[in-house]
Structure 1
């Protein structure tokens, strides 16, 4: 049975679509109040109307580009005056561009790190004093299987997700004494508009279509783990098994998997 989130205040970045919107829906269904953040305010307002009408929960929305640290500070300061308690922060905002290392522009490289890494850290930093004061809370970082298995044409994206995993693992150790849970979510490819940017030619999507995860499936797994001491959520399970083999036998894994990796 799904656990109750009534009265819990949940922040979700990148909430205007994909698994962000799906997680918001599952949270609202279980009674959670939502603070939804994304660059597209129009989509956020549309989602707000739907969720408030369907589930009679409080939904607050703010336009936010997480790559702008000043904007993060201003918006989160507003949120912290509006809500006495923050129970969950889901750092979901992120994007990728699949190009070989020599082809990625410096703007693309800086952009991915600004959103996927620095933006995530900036949002987390703003919420930590409140959660430490409360002595409870849950930070959920949406990373990727790419943070465990690096493949061709995803060097920069994989680097950002490796960084997210390193940050998450350190944060978990730092916050355990405050009764704050920290979870990394490592999905494989998800059937969302993420690939409209990441895979402009559609080659990767065509090759992995049958393996792609449904956004609602990933979102439900995350919300099911909310406010529990879950270290990682790895999806699909068979792909995570590959990451374990990779960690143990990297040279063998790279040699045997080379043909599959080149399908991107």
Structure 2
């Protein structure tokens, strides 16, 4: 089956879809004939995106406000989705953010905020789609994690902790749903060219230090969309960074010693 045919007429819901990777995923899905549910806090931007997508690709596109830190509101949003579109074939848990700071400087509000969005919000959204996917014996849950979930580095202790949690949850969920023909994929990109670093690193030092290694959202989104409704365990980008993560699993002390200088480039 050609990749365009696989997504044609399917419904893809994407959190954090008002910009960056989520926005790129949305447009690529629409280009392949998928109907979309766009979820983010910036409803004005989502409505404009939905208008553009409908006009350009002729697919259905439902924009809805969703603040992942407001966990009590999430079930009502998904009830609205199911009432309007019937079911979700692919859920992309993309929303998330990070703050780079030494552990001694991270505030309790920063910790609570990152875990509320990156972990708890993602889990609550996933919980809402599991029953219908299980009933239909079909579906795909894609969780955007990070290479930081595999290889923690200085000044990202809390962000890395949230992404470790995302990977732990994703790996457990994959096994739980395997018998129901529901696919679960973790996406682990390295640094991407998005507005993520405007909050994570306001100084701009990190982007300046690793500029040539930053991934484009176009490249990552292409791989994510290509994997939809396929049995794919993980997507790891870039390859050389994932090699580092694998080596870290095997030889943690050696990697920490040899990579110390590079790790402190934030």
- TM-score bracket for the superposition, by shorter chain length: over 0.9
Cα deviation digits, residues 76-114 of structure 1 (max 9, x gap): 111112222310000000000000111011001000000
Contact 1:18 1:215 in 2 (8 A): yes
State the alpha-carbon separation in 1 of the partners of residues 24 and 190 from structure 2.
17
Cα deviation digits, residues 205-255 of structure 1 (max 9, x gap): 100110000001100100000000000000001100000100000000000
State the alpha-carbon separation in 2 of the partners of residues 249 and 33 from structure 1.
45
Mapped pair 1:153 → 2:144: no
State the alpha-carbon separation in 1 of the partners of residues 86 and 180 from structure 2.
18
Deviation at 1:55, TM superposition (A): 0.2
State the alpha-carbon separation in 2 of the partners of residues 3 and 172 from structure 1.
25
Specify the alignment match of 1:200 in structure 2.
Answer: 202
Contact 1:3 1:224 in 2 (8 A): no
**TM alignment of 1:107-256, pairs within 5 A:** 107-256=109-258
Specify the alignment match of 2:99 in structure 1.
Answer: 97
Mapped pair 1:54 → 2:36: no
Contact 1:39 1:65 in 2 (8 A): yes
Contact 1:85 1:134 in 2 (8 A): no
Deviation at 1:73, TM superposition (A): 1.1
CA RMSD, 1 decimal: 0.7
Specify the alignment match of 2:86 in structure 1.
Answer: 84
Specify the alignment match of 2:3 in structure 1.
Answer: 2
State the alpha-carbon separation in 1 of the partners of residues 121 and 207 from structure 2.
27
Contact 2:20 2:194 in 1 (8 A): yes
Contact 2:81 2:87 in 1 (8 A): no
Deviation at 1:49, TM superposition (A): 1.0
Deviation at 1:70, TM superposition (A): 1.5
State the alpha-carbon separation in 2 of the partners of residues 27 and 3 from structure 1.
9
TM-score by length of 2: 0.98
Cα deviation digits, residues 107-155 of structure 1 (max 9, x gap): 0100000000000000000111111111110000000000000000000
Runs of 4+ in 1 over 4 A off after TM superposition: none
Deviation at 1:67, TM superposition (A): 1.3
Deviation at 1:71, TM superposition (A): 1.3
Contact 2:142 2:187 in 1 (8 A): yes
For structure 2, list consecutive stretches of 5 or more residues without a partner in the other structure.
Answer: none
Q: What is the count of residue pairs matched by the alignment?
A: 264
State the alpha-carbon separation in 2 of the partners of residues 133 and 83 from structure 1.
16
TM-score by length of 1: 0.99
Specify the alignment match of 2:66 in structure 1.
Answer: 64
